[in-house]
Amino acid sequence: MICSGAAALSLLTGCGPEKNLDRLAETRFVGDTIPVQESWNITLGIDDNGESRLLLKAGHLSEFRDEDSTTRHLDGGITAVLFGENANSSTTLSARRGIIHDNGDLEAFDDVVITTADSTTLRTSYIKRTAATATLWTDRFVTIEQQAETIRGYGLQSDDRLNNYTILDASGEAELQP
């Protein structure tokens, strides 16, 4: 028997009506170690009742979910603008990688640099910003540089503008004015 290509194709694909199969994707294996979704070169805005609180840019985002929460892991370099009251840009944070939690808290890791509007600069290897209170915290070594002084130490608690901070174990240098 000799069949043409079109006839053989119709025999293989069938001639009946298309069946509508309501199937969900198998996702039980996704979540803890495999991301639910990924994005590259992202810009993410977080707001509170319509007012901007954080504008974040990252090279790569991986979203992980478990039964209780969703976390967004950022890498490829991150930059976050932290907005103060009335959506004024007051602080910029940069780091190599970070994590955003469901509640808007941000953890930043590796070469963290925070610069405020008045040119105060904080350097550390890890910092956590709590969204609800707009505060910064770390238990790692920090360096804070201002116009005429440099303060170093371990551990920091601060508002996110670095106006009111406490270094738990501090040392430093300052230029004294006559």
Q: Does 1 fall in a domain?
A: no
Q: Does 82 fall in a domain?
A: yes
Per-residue pLDDT tens for 67-113? Answer: 888 999 999 999 999 876 665 667 999 999 999 998 889 999 999 99
Q: Which pLDDT band, with edges at 50, 70 and 90, does 5 fall under?
A: very low
How many domains does the chain fold into? 1
Write the DSSP assignment of the chain as a string of letters: ----HHHHHHHHH-SSPPP--------TT-SSSS-SEEEEEEEEEEEETTEEEEEEEEEEEEEEE-SS-EEEEEEEEEEEEEE-GGG-EEEEEEESEEEE-TTS-EEEEEEEEEEETT--EEEEEEEEEETTTTEEEEEEEEEEE-SSEEEEEEEEEEETTSSSEEEEEEEEEEPPP-
Q: Are residues 72 and 62 in contact, defined by beta-carbon separation less than 8 angstroms? A: yes
Question: Which pLDDT score is estimated for 9?
Answer: 43
This prediction's pTM:
0.76
Residue 61 domain boundaries:
29-174
Q: Does 48 fall in a domain?
A: yes
Residue 54 belongs to domain with CATH number: 2.60.450.10
Question: Which pLDDT score is estimated for 86?
Answer: 60
Question: Which pLDDT score is estimated for 26?
Answer: 52
Per-residue pLDDT tens for 36-49? Answer: 899 999 998 877 77
Lowest mean pLDDT among 1-5, 21-25, 69-73, 86-90: 1-5
Distance of CA 36 to the CA centre of its chain: 16
